[in-house]
Amino acid sequence: MSKVISGFSRLDKSQKINWLAEHYFNDSDIAKSILKQYWNEDEKLQKLHDEFIENTITNYYLPLGIAPNFLINNSVYTIPMAIEESSVVAAASKAAKFWYDRGGFKTKVISTTKIGQVHFMYHGNHDHLVSFFKSVKPLLLKDAKPLTKNMEKRGGGILDIELRDKTNEINGYYQLHATFETKDAMGANFINSCLEQFANTFNTEAQKFDDFSETEKDIQIVMSILSNYVPECLVRAEVSCNVEDLTENENISPTEFANKFIQAVNIAEVEPYRAVTHNKGIMNGIDAVVLATGNDFRAVEAGVHAYAARNGKYSSLTHASVENGVFKFWIEIPLALGTVGGLTSLHPLVKLALEMLNKPSAEELMQIVAVAGLAQNFAALRSLTTTGIQQGHMKMHLMNILNQFEATDSEKNALVEHFKTNTVTHSAVVKAIENLRR
């Protein structure tokens, strides 16, 4: 039977599920039951979720956890984290407690500039284009005024527009490179609207510019779009303490721990294979908070990884040093976030997450998110350089394995107790379950 369908988007949710179950699942009744199980009983709330995206059939749940005891710039935070991976929330919480007793996290926003570009092709005289841009720039700003008026009232708006010559990379390729301040909004829609207005004005005025020949007036606008690479929207987070206060592990001295920790960071700075995994751990913390607060974790991921390769080689996002007996660990990272607009004003759990964080501004949220990433990385490197990563991770993963084998509550209690003193591996858990069930 054909799986091609016309008018799918016009079907209601039940009809979509029925079609899907009929064509794609061996047991359509089980599939329907599972999909409908995740519908929200509150019809108003379910309708809200249905309208976030297109062709919805159900909700896809992720656990929302919290990591308490984060001391950031002398204020205590409990940080919400939406993530499915075992040990991430526990690791962040452990790092928060460790640094709470050592002065906490210090943060600052370095810059908040965001970027958008109008990409266009022009094959005429370069000097003519430069002259045209200088004459049209004031009009670009003037024509965008209806779009920028409200943003300017909040202290934001268009910062500048530059003409950039990229013809050494693609023949005839130029940009209008614009910078923006969007305050507490992430600003994607605002930026894109401004860029499209720039493009319209630029194209229209080119037809009237006296120095252009008829062929030079034929400027081809390729696209107008914001960039998720925001190297000038930067935040810094750091921790520091005297080396002798650094470790609570009786099996390794504070000095040895500091040296191994710094070497681990240095390896991630020079070895891309390690740096990718190193930075993935950082993003465990960052993405979880970005998702919990209704921000775009995909945009953040893309921008962060581009930043990690900004010097031509992919490298660590974090850095560490010891100077005059003081250990320092820090991160500088680009984060374009918002606390108004989008899901922040729609999703009930996002509203609660932001309230949990005392309704932060975008700059405050940047600092909280950077801290989550730094804490996650500290916890991971601390485990790697002392006990090894698997000991803690596998104990956190134990419950997932037990659920795979449909362990009862009594079996879970017995096996959790057993693995307090035994190494957790998948095969060891399987063997322990089999022995218990005998």
Q: What is the DSSP string of 142-203?
A: HHTHHHHHHHHHTT-EEEEEEEEE-TTTSTTEEEEEEEEE-TTB--HHHHHHHHHHHHHHHH
Q: Within a 10 A sphere around the Cβ of 160, how many other Cβ atoms?
A: 11
Give the C-alpha separation, 381 to 281, whole Å. 10
Among candidate residues 220, 152, 162, 216, the one with its CA nearest the CA of residue 190: 152
Contact 218, 143 (CB under 8 A): no
Structure tokens at 86: 């075992």
**CA gap 25, 336 in Å, rounded:** 41
User: Contact 300/308 with Cβ under 8 angstroms?
Assistant: no
* Residue linked to tokens 């009594």: 410
Segment holding 205, helix H or strand E? helix 188-206
d(Cα 67, Cα 94) in Å, to the nearest integer? Answer: 9
CA distances from 304 to 192, 339, 377 (A): 21, 19, 15
How far is it, in rounded angstroms, from Cα 315 to Cα 320? 14
Radius of gyration of the chain (CA): 27
Could you give the CA distance from residue 204 to residue 395 in angstroms, rounded to a whole number?
64
- Give bridge partners of residue 165 from the DSSP assignment: 174
Amino acid at 132: F
Would you name the residues annotated as active-site residues?
A: 85, 280, 296, 393
Locate 312 and state its tokens.
């031509």
Q: Residue 203 corresponds to which tokens in the numbers above?
A: 């194209």
CA pair distance 438, 429, nearest whole angstrom: 14
At residue 399, what are phi and psi to the nearest 5 degrees? Answer: -65, -35
